[in-house]
Structure 1
Amino acid sequence: MFIRNCLTPKKELTLLSSPMTIKDALATMKGSHYSLPVINDEGSYLGILSKRSILEYLETQDEQTTLLELYQHAISNCIDVSANESVDLHSSHFEDCLPIIVRYPFVPVLDNGEFVGIVKRSFIERTLEDCFGVGVEGTRILLGVHNQSGTLHSITKILQKYDINIISDIAFESDSSYLRRILIKIEKSPHLNKVTADIEKHGYRILEIE
Protein backbone atom coordinates (compact mmCIF):
# COMPACT_ATOMS: atom_id res chain seq x y z
CA MET A 1 0.00 0.00 0.00
CA PHE A 2 1.34 3.40 -0.98
CA ILE A 3 1.49 6.30 1.46
CA ARG A 4 -0.83 8.39 -0.68
CA ASN A 5 -3.54 5.80 0.05
CA CYS A 6 -3.01 6.26 3.80
CA LEU A 7 -2.66 10.04 3.91
CA THR A 8 -4.78 12.43 5.93
CA PRO A 9 -3.93 15.73 4.16
CA LYS A 10 -2.88 18.73 6.21
CA LYS A 11 -5.97 20.70 5.15
CA GLU A 12 -7.98 18.26 7.28
CA LEU A 13 -5.69 18.61 10.31
CA THR A 14 -5.43 20.98 13.22
CA LEU A 15 -1.89 22.37 13.07
CA LEU A 16 0.17 24.46 15.46
CA SER A 17 2.59 27.19 14.39
CA SER A 18 5.93 27.47 16.19
CA PRO A 19 5.50 31.17 17.18
CA MET A 20 2.28 30.35 19.08
CA THR A 21 2.25 30.77 22.85
CA ILE A 22 1.66 27.88 25.21
CA LYS A 23 -1.65 29.47 26.18
CA ASP A 24 -2.88 29.61 22.59
CA ALA A 25 -1.69 26.07 21.90
CA LEU A 26 -3.50 24.69 24.95
CA ALA A 27 -6.65 26.48 23.84
CA THR A 28 -6.33 24.82 20.43
CA MET A 29 -5.66 21.41 21.98
CA LYS A 30 -8.53 21.69 24.44
CA GLY A 31 -10.92 18.79 24.15
CA SER A 32 -9.94 15.98 21.81
CA HIS A 33 -6.34 16.86 20.91
CA TYR A 34 -3.61 15.42 23.13
CA SER A 35 -0.82 16.04 20.62
CA LEU A 36 -0.56 17.96 17.34
CA PRO A 37 1.94 18.55 14.51
CA VAL A 38 3.93 21.79 14.64
CA ILE A 39 5.02 23.66 11.52
CA ASN A 40 7.02 26.85 11.04
CA ASP A 41 6.05 29.92 9.02
CA GLU A 42 7.34 28.26 5.84
CA GLY A 43 5.17 25.20 6.42
CA SER A 44 8.03 22.85 7.31
CA TYR A 45 7.37 20.14 9.86
CA LEU A 46 9.18 20.72 13.18
CA GLY A 47 7.90 18.01 15.48
CA ILE A 48 5.08 17.19 17.89
CA LEU A 49 3.63 19.29 20.67
CA SER A 50 1.83 17.30 23.34
CA LYS A 51 0.36 18.20 26.70
CA ARG A 52 3.07 16.01 28.18
CA SER A 53 5.88 17.94 26.48
CA ILE A 54 4.35 21.21 27.73
CA LEU A 55 4.23 19.85 31.28
CA GLU A 56 7.84 18.67 31.05
CA TYR A 57 8.88 22.14 29.91
CA LEU A 58 6.98 23.84 32.74
CA GLU A 59 8.75 21.61 35.26
CA THR A 60 12.15 22.91 34.08
CA GLN A 61 11.30 26.56 34.72
CA ASP A 62 12.25 28.68 37.71
CA GLU A 63 9.86 28.36 40.63
CA GLN A 64 9.53 32.14 40.76
CA THR A 65 8.01 32.21 37.28
CA THR A 66 4.25 32.46 37.45
CA LEU A 67 1.92 30.29 35.43
CA LEU A 68 0.64 33.33 33.56
CA GLU A 69 4.19 34.17 32.52
CA LEU A 70 4.86 30.62 31.40
CA TYR A 71 1.72 30.64 29.29
CA GLN A 72 3.25 33.45 27.22
CA HIS A 73 6.32 31.39 26.28
CA ALA A 74 6.50 30.20 22.68
CA ILE A 75 5.71 26.55 22.02
CA SER A 76 9.03 26.27 20.19
CA ASN A 77 10.47 25.64 23.67
CA CYS A 78 8.22 22.60 24.15
CA ILE A 79 8.28 20.83 20.80
CA ASP A 80 9.40 17.22 20.81
CA VAL A 81 11.95 17.60 18.03
CA SER A 82 12.98 13.95 18.38
CA ALA A 83 9.62 13.13 16.78
CA ASN A 84 10.79 14.27 13.36
CA GLU A 85 10.94 10.87 11.69
CA SER A 86 8.76 10.88 8.60
CA VAL A 87 7.82 8.99 5.46
CA ASP A 88 7.91 10.21 1.88
CA LEU A 89 4.67 10.58 -0.07
CA HIS A 90 6.09 8.91 -3.19
CA SER A 91 8.88 6.55 -2.16
CA SER A 92 7.60 5.15 1.16
CA HIS A 93 5.11 2.37 1.80
CA PHE A 94 2.64 1.47 4.53
CA GLU A 95 5.09 -0.80 6.35
CA ASP A 96 7.55 2.10 6.70
CA CYS A 97 5.07 3.67 9.13
CA LEU A 98 5.22 0.80 11.62
CA PRO A 99 8.54 1.55 13.40
CA ILE A 100 7.45 5.19 13.75
CA ILE A 101 3.88 4.71 14.96
CA VAL A 102 4.96 2.48 17.87
CA ARG A 103 6.75 5.52 19.33
CA TYR A 104 4.67 8.49 18.22
CA PRO A 105 0.94 9.26 17.90
CA PHE A 106 1.06 9.77 14.12
CA VAL A 107 3.44 9.52 11.18
CA PRO A 108 4.37 12.78 9.37
CA VAL A 109 4.32 12.63 5.57
CA LEU A 110 6.62 14.81 3.45
CA ASP A 111 6.67 15.54 -0.26
CA ASN A 112 10.12 16.76 -1.33
CA GLY A 113 10.65 17.99 2.23
CA GLU A 114 7.29 19.75 2.47
CA PHE A 115 4.82 18.64 5.13
CA VAL A 116 1.66 17.40 3.38
CA GLY A 117 -0.16 15.47 6.11
CA ILE A 118 0.01 12.47 8.41
CA VAL A 119 -0.81 8.80 8.63
CA LYS A 120 -3.04 8.33 11.65
CA ARG A 121 -2.56 5.56 14.18
CA SER A 122 -6.24 4.65 13.79
CA PHE A 123 -5.72 4.06 10.05
CA ILE A 124 -2.74 1.79 10.72
CA GLU A 125 -4.72 -0.16 13.32
CA ARG A 126 -7.66 -0.65 10.94
CA THR A 127 -5.34 -1.75 8.13
CA LEU A 128 -3.64 -4.35 10.33
CA GLU A 129 -7.05 -5.59 11.49
CA ASP A 130 -8.03 -6.06 7.85
CA CYS A 131 -4.78 -7.91 7.13
CA PHE A 132 -5.50 -10.38 9.93
CA GLY A 133 -9.21 -10.65 9.17
CA VAL A 134 -10.22 -9.32 12.58
CA GLY A 135 -13.97 -9.55 13.14
CA VAL A 136 -14.45 -12.11 10.35
CA GLU A 137 -15.36 -15.59 11.53
CA GLY A 138 -13.02 -18.29 10.30
CA THR A 139 -10.33 -20.85 11.09
CA ARG A 140 -6.66 -19.94 11.51
CA ILE A 141 -4.01 -22.36 10.31
CA LEU A 142 -0.35 -21.69 11.11
CA LEU A 143 1.96 -23.46 8.69
CA GLY A 144 5.68 -24.15 8.74
CA VAL A 145 7.10 -24.06 5.21
CA HIS A 146 10.41 -23.98 3.41
CA ASN A 147 11.30 -20.71 1.76
CA GLN A 148 10.74 -21.63 -1.88
CA SER A 149 8.79 -20.22 -4.79
CA GLY A 150 5.26 -21.44 -5.44
CA THR A 151 4.45 -22.27 -1.82
CA LEU A 152 1.48 -19.95 -1.46
CA HIS A 153 0.19 -20.94 -4.90
CA SER A 154 0.33 -24.62 -3.93
CA ILE A 155 -1.55 -24.03 -0.67
CA THR A 156 -4.14 -21.93 -2.47
CA LYS A 157 -4.77 -24.73 -4.98
CA ILE A 158 -5.43 -27.14 -2.11
CA LEU A 159 -8.00 -24.80 -0.61
CA GLN A 160 -9.62 -24.25 -4.01
CA LYS A 161 -10.09 -28.00 -4.32
CA TYR A 162 -12.44 -27.86 -1.33
CA ASP A 163 -14.06 -24.59 -2.44
CA ILE A 164 -12.69 -22.69 0.57
CA ASN A 165 -12.13 -18.93 0.51
CA ILE A 166 -9.06 -17.35 2.08
CA ILE A 167 -9.89 -14.48 4.44
CA SER A 168 -6.29 -13.43 5.04
CA ASP A 169 -2.73 -14.71 4.79
CA ILE A 170 0.36 -13.37 6.52
CA ALA A 171 3.96 -14.57 6.23
CA PHE A 172 6.29 -14.43 9.24
CA GLU A 173 9.99 -14.90 9.78
CA SER A 174 11.44 -18.30 10.59
CA ASP A 175 11.26 -20.20 13.85
CA SER A 176 13.81 -22.81 14.97
CA SER A 177 12.59 -25.52 12.60
CA TYR A 178 11.26 -23.92 9.43
CA LEU A 179 12.40 -21.07 7.26
CA ARG A 180 8.98 -19.42 7.06
CA ARG A 181 5.67 -19.45 8.87
CA ILE A 182 2.43 -18.61 7.11
CA LEU A 183 -0.75 -17.78 8.98
CA ILE A 184 -3.80 -18.43 6.82
CA LYS A 185 -7.32 -17.59 7.93
CA ILE A 186 -9.99 -19.45 5.97
CA GLU A 187 -13.75 -19.51 6.08
CA LYS A 188 -15.37 -22.20 8.22
CA SER A 189 -15.60 -25.51 6.37
CA PRO A 190 -16.84 -29.04 7.12
CA HIS A 191 -13.82 -30.28 5.15
CA LEU A 192 -11.21 -28.97 7.58
CA ASN A 193 -9.78 -32.40 8.42
CA LYS A 194 -9.42 -33.26 4.73
CA VAL A 195 -7.83 -29.89 4.05
CA THR A 196 -5.23 -30.23 6.79
CA ALA A 197 -4.41 -33.79 5.74
CA ASP A 198 -3.98 -32.64 2.14
CA ILE A 199 -1.75 -29.76 3.21
CA GLU A 200 0.51 -32.08 5.20
CA LYS A 201 0.58 -34.57 2.32
CA HIS A 202 2.13 -31.83 0.21
CA GLY A 203 4.98 -31.45 2.69
CA TYR A 204 3.80 -28.51 4.75
CA ARG A 205 3.74 -28.79 8.51
CA ILE A 206 0.69 -27.57 10.42
CA LEU A 207 1.97 -25.91 13.58
CA GLU A 208 -1.35 -24.79 15.02
CA ILE A 209 -5.07 -24.65 14.22
CA GLU A 210 -7.46 -22.29 15.95
Structure 2
Amino acid sequence: MKPWILGLTGGIGSGKSAAANHFGSLGVHLVDADQAARWVVEPGRPALTHIVDRFGEQILQDDGVLDRAALRARIFQAPQERQWLEQLLHPLIREEMRNALDEARSPYAILVSPLLVESAAQRQMSQRVLVVDVPEQVQIQRTVQRDSVPEEQVRAILQAQASREERLRHAHDVLVNDRDLVWLQREVERLHDFYLTLQGGQS
Protein backbone atom coordinates (compact mmCIF):
# COMPACT_ATOMS: atom_id res chain seq x y z
CA MET A 1 0.00 0.00 0.00
CA LYS A 2 1.24 3.48 -0.82
CA PRO A 3 2.19 5.43 2.31
CA TRP A 4 0.19 8.56 3.09
CA ILE A 5 2.08 11.85 3.35
CA LEU A 6 2.35 14.02 6.45
CA GLY A 7 3.41 17.61 5.79
CA LEU A 8 5.60 18.85 8.64
CA THR A 9 6.20 22.57 8.91
CA GLY A 10 7.09 25.34 11.33
CA GLY A 11 8.69 28.75 11.21
CA ILE A 12 12.42 29.37 11.44
CA GLY A 13 13.81 28.29 14.83
CA SER A 14 10.69 26.29 15.73
CA GLY A 15 12.57 22.99 15.95
CA LYS A 16 10.91 21.32 12.98
CA SER A 17 14.24 19.72 11.96
CA ALA A 18 14.73 18.23 15.44
CA ALA A 19 11.17 16.87 15.29
CA ALA A 20 11.69 15.51 11.76
CA ASN A 21 14.98 13.84 12.74
CA HIS A 22 13.27 12.02 15.59
CA PHE A 23 10.49 10.80 13.28
CA GLY A 24 13.30 9.61 10.99
CA SER A 25 14.95 7.70 13.84
CA LEU A 26 11.61 5.88 14.34
CA GLY A 27 11.86 4.59 10.76
CA VAL A 28 9.66 7.15 8.98
CA HIS A 29 10.77 8.06 5.45
CA LEU A 30 11.65 11.78 5.38
CA VAL A 31 11.79 14.08 2.37
CA ASP A 32 13.19 17.52 3.12
CA ALA A 33 12.14 20.39 0.84
CA ASP A 34 15.27 22.36 1.83
CA GLN A 35 17.46 19.44 0.74
CA ALA A 36 15.53 19.16 -2.52
CA ALA A 37 16.07 22.90 -2.99
CA ARG A 38 19.83 22.36 -2.52
CA TRP A 39 19.98 19.42 -4.93
CA VAL A 40 18.33 21.30 -7.79
CA VAL A 41 21.04 24.02 -7.71
CA GLU A 42 24.08 21.73 -7.41
CA PRO A 43 26.91 22.32 -9.90
CA GLY A 44 26.04 20.72 -13.21
CA ARG A 45 22.28 21.07 -12.76
CA PRO A 46 20.55 23.38 -15.29
CA ALA A 47 19.00 25.61 -12.58
CA LEU A 48 22.43 26.79 -11.45
CA THR A 49 23.33 27.86 -14.99
CA HIS A 50 20.15 29.96 -15.20
CA ILE A 51 20.91 31.59 -11.83
CA VAL A 52 24.47 32.50 -12.90
CA ASP A 53 23.15 33.89 -16.21
CA ARG A 54 20.78 36.09 -14.23
CA PHE A 55 22.97 37.24 -11.30
CA GLY A 56 26.52 36.82 -12.62
CA GLU A 57 29.52 34.74 -11.50
CA GLN A 58 29.77 36.57 -8.15
CA ILE A 59 26.80 34.47 -7.00
CA LEU A 60 29.16 31.45 -6.89
CA GLN A 61 31.75 30.46 -4.29
CA ASP A 62 35.32 29.77 -5.45
CA ASP A 63 34.52 26.04 -5.79
CA GLY A 64 31.64 26.72 -8.21
CA VAL A 65 28.93 26.04 -5.61
CA LEU A 66 26.05 28.50 -5.24
CA ASP A 67 26.74 31.12 -2.57
CA ARG A 68 23.34 30.93 -0.86
CA ALA A 69 24.02 33.89 1.45
CA ALA A 70 24.91 36.16 -1.48
CA LEU A 71 21.81 35.03 -3.37
CA ARG A 72 19.61 35.53 -0.29
CA ALA A 73 20.97 39.05 0.16
CA ARG A 74 20.17 39.85 -3.50
CA ILE A 75 16.61 38.54 -3.53
CA PHE A 76 15.52 39.85 -0.14
CA GLN A 77 15.99 43.39 -1.42
CA ALA A 78 14.25 42.78 -4.76
CA PRO A 79 10.81 41.11 -4.76
CA GLN A 80 10.81 40.69 -8.55
CA GLU A 81 14.12 38.77 -8.38
CA ARG A 82 12.68 36.53 -5.68
CA GLN A 83 9.67 35.88 -7.88
CA TRP A 84 11.87 35.00 -10.85
CA LEU A 85 13.87 32.57 -8.69
CA GLU A 86 10.76 30.93 -7.26
CA GLN A 87 9.29 30.42 -10.75
CA LEU A 88 12.51 28.74 -11.84
CA LEU A 89 13.04 26.54 -8.80
CA HIS A 90 9.63 25.56 -7.45
CA PRO A 91 8.62 23.16 -10.26
CA LEU A 92 12.07 21.51 -10.12
CA ILE A 93 11.93 21.16 -6.33
CA ARG A 94 8.41 19.68 -6.52
CA GLU A 95 9.54 17.06 -9.01
CA GLU A 96 12.54 16.19 -6.83
CA MET A 97 10.28 15.82 -3.76
CA ARG A 98 7.73 13.71 -5.61
CA ASN A 99 10.40 11.29 -6.79
CA ALA A 100 11.80 11.02 -3.25
CA LEU A 101 8.34 10.44 -1.72
CA ASP A 102 7.66 7.70 -4.29
CA GLU A 103 10.55 5.74 -2.76
CA ALA A 104 8.94 5.64 0.71
CA ARG A 105 8.32 2.19 2.20
CA SER A 106 7.21 3.25 5.71
CA PRO A 107 3.45 3.26 6.64
CA TYR A 108 3.49 7.04 6.22
CA ALA A 109 6.15 9.44 4.91
CA ILE A 110 6.94 13.00 5.94
CA LEU A 111 7.45 16.00 3.70
CA VAL A 112 9.41 18.50 5.79
CA SER A 113 9.01 22.03 4.46
CA PRO A 114 9.27 25.52 5.94
CA LEU A 115 6.99 26.75 3.13
CA LEU A 116 4.29 24.08 3.27
CA VAL A 117 1.57 26.63 4.07
CA GLU A 118 2.77 29.15 1.49
CA SER A 119 2.99 26.56 -1.28
CA ALA A 120 -0.40 25.21 -2.36
CA ALA A 121 1.38 22.57 -4.47
CA GLN A 122 3.27 21.22 -1.45
CA ARG A 123 0.12 21.25 0.67
CA GLN A 124 -1.65 19.21 -2.01
CA MET A 125 1.12 16.60 -1.76
CA SER A 126 0.25 16.11 1.94
CA GLN A 127 -2.83 14.38 3.37
CA ARG A 128 -2.29 15.83 6.83
CA VAL A 129 -0.35 18.80 8.29
CA LEU A 130 1.68 18.87 11.52
CA VAL A 131 2.85 22.31 12.67
CA VAL A 132 5.74 22.66 15.11
CA ASP A 133 4.85 25.87 16.90
CA VAL A 134 6.72 28.19 19.26
CA PRO A 135 6.19 31.79 20.39
CA GLU A 136 7.85 34.30 18.04
CA GLN A 137 10.28 35.53 20.70
CA VAL A 138 11.59 31.96 21.11
CA GLN A 139 12.02 31.65 17.34
CA ILE A 140 14.11 34.83 17.28
CA GLN A 141 16.27 33.84 20.28
CA ARG A 142 16.97 30.35 18.95
CA THR A 143 17.82 31.50 15.43
CA VAL A 144 20.09 34.33 16.58
CA GLN A 145 21.99 31.84 18.77
CA ARG A 146 22.08 29.02 16.21
CA ASP A 147 23.01 31.02 13.10
CA SER A 148 24.86 33.95 14.74
CA VAL A 149 22.80 36.40 12.70
CA PRO A 150 21.43 39.80 13.75
CA GLU A 151 17.89 39.92 15.09
CA GLU A 152 16.75 42.18 12.20
CA GLN A 153 17.64 39.49 9.69
CA VAL A 154 15.62 36.91 11.60
CA ARG A 155 12.66 39.30 11.74
CA ALA A 156 12.93 39.83 7.95
CA ILE A 157 12.79 36.05 7.43
CA LEU A 158 9.78 35.82 9.74
CA GLN A 159 8.06 38.53 7.70
CA ALA A 160 8.65 36.55 4.49
CA GLN A 161 7.23 33.34 5.99
CA ALA A 162 3.55 32.67 6.63
CA SER A 163 2.34 34.11 9.90
CA ARG A 164 2.01 31.83 12.90
CA GLU A 165 -1.81 32.20 12.75
CA GLU A 166 -1.86 31.26 9.06
CA ARG A 167 0.21 28.12 9.72
CA LEU A 168 -1.99 27.05 12.63
CA ARG A 169 -5.08 27.50 10.49
CA HIS A 170 -3.84 24.71 8.18
CA ALA A 171 -2.74 22.37 10.98
CA HIS A 172 -4.41 19.05 11.71
CA ASP A 173 -1.94 18.59 14.58
CA VAL A 174 0.16 21.09 16.55
CA LEU A 175 3.32 20.28 18.50
CA VAL A 176 4.19 23.16 20.83
CA ASN A 177 7.97 23.00 21.15
CA ASP A 178 8.75 25.41 23.99
CA ARG A 179 10.46 22.92 26.32
CA ASP A 180 13.56 20.72 25.99
CA LEU A 181 14.58 18.11 23.41
CA VAL A 182 13.56 15.14 25.58
CA TRP A 183 10.03 16.51 25.78
CA LEU A 184 9.96 17.14 22.03
CA GLN A 185 11.04 13.57 21.32
CA ARG A 186 8.34 12.18 23.62
CA GLU A 187 5.70 14.24 21.79
CA VAL A 188 7.00 12.95 18.44
CA GLU A 189 6.72 9.36 19.69
CA ARG A 190 3.16 9.98 20.88
CA LEU A 191 2.20 11.42 17.46
CA HIS A 192 4.00 8.59 15.64
CA ASP A 193 1.95 5.97 17.52
CA PHE A 194 -1.20 7.86 16.57
CA TYR A 195 -0.16 8.23 12.91
CA LEU A 196 0.40 4.48 12.63
CA THR A 197 -3.33 4.00 13.36
CA LEU A 198 -4.46 6.29 10.53
CA GLN A 199 -5.55 5.25 7.06
CA GLY A 200 -4.63 7.81 4.44
CA GLY A 201 -3.80 10.37 7.12
CA GLN A 202 -7.37 10.74 8.36
CA SER A 203 -8.65 9.60 11.73
Q: Structure 2 length normalisation: TM-score?
A: 0.27
More helix by share: 2
Rg (Cα) greater in structure: 1
